[in-house]
């Protein structure tokens, strides 16, 4: 009975989370590098090419093509490490001439954007990086997008389903698993429940009554 009550609460939270996910990426401002427990949150928005949405172009600044950037990660060092970005629906690549940061504000000067008019033409367009630009993570840390879709099995190699989503409600990450039976199970992403993550292959959980 306690297990059933806990599961209902998790499912209610999952429903609230799904409603939040229905908002546009721009409204949600997903944080690329905000760490919650062992999961680094990033969002793949183009499964074929692994483009990752990280911000939106703001107003032009000055007369020589500099643009303001609404950068969602708020990580200055990471922002300055990117040598190029992809802009707009067509994902056109722009090489960076110089990065600027002042407080919580960020801006860029692209090599091929040389006037205010050219900068204004980029306003409100989405900014992306590709997965090759993500930093390598230490052991026991994973990108959110790398866990989605992994097969889930038990220590005894019983295949039970796939990871459908990952949530965090403050205490710890919660894995939503679509079971082979068609039902959904919520599993805490902690050492009490998760035995091992084999990158890009599967997640192994401890034996439990599912």
pLDDT at 79: 83
Give the CATH superfamily of 2-25+141-205: PRC-barrel domain (2.30.30.240)
The architecture CATH gives domain 51-130: Beta Barrel (2.40)
Q: Tell me the average pLDDT of the chain.
A: 79
Low-confidence ranges of the chain (pLDDT < 50): 19-36
HEC string for the chain? CHHHHHHHHHHHHHHHHHHHHCCCHHHHCCCCCCEECCEECCCEEECCCCEEEEEEEEEEECCCCEEEEEECCCCHHHHHHCCEEEECCCCEEEEEEEEEEECCEEEEEECCCCCHHHHHCCCCCEEEEEHHHCCCCCCCCEEHHHHCCCEEEECCCCEEEEEEEEEECCCCEEEEEEECCCCEEEEECCCCCEEEEECCCEEEECCCCC
pLDDT at 111: 96
Domain residue limits, the chain: 2-25+141-205, 51-130
User: Cα(125)–Cα(32) distance, rounded to whole angstroms?
Assistant: 18
pLDDT at 166: 82
pLDDT at 34: 43
pLDDT at 71: 85
pLDDT at 37: 52
Q: What digits encode the pLDDT tens for the residues 16-75?
A: 555 444 444 333 334 444 444 555 555 555 555 678 888 899 999 999 999 999 887 656
């Amino acid at each position: 009975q306690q297990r059933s009550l806990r599961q209902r609460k998790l499912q209610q939270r999952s429903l609230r989370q799904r409603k939040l996910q229905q908002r546009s990426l721009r409204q949600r401002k997903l944080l690329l590098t905000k760490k919650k427990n062992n999961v680094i949150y990033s969002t793949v928005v183009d499964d074929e090419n692994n483009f990752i949405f990280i911000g939106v172009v703001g107003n032009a600044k000055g007369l020589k093509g500099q643009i303001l950037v609404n950068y969602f990660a708020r990580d200055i060092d990471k922002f300055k490490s990117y040598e190029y970005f992809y802009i707009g629906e067509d994902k056109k690549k722009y090489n960076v001439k110089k990065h600027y940061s002042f407080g919580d504000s960020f801006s860029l000067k692209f090599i091929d954007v040389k006037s205010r008019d050219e900068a204004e033409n980029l306003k409100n367009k989405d900014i992306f990086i590709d997965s090759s630009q993500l930093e390598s993570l230490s052991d026991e840390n994973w990108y959110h997008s790398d866990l989605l879709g992994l097969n889930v099995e038990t220590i005894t190699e019983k295949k039970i389903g796939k990871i459908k989503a990952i949530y965090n409600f403050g205490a710890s990450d919660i894995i939503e698993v679509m079971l082979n039976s068609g039902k959904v199970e919520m599993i805490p992403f902690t050492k009490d429940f998760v035995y091992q993550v084999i990158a890009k292959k599967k997640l192994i959980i401890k034996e439990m009554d599912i």
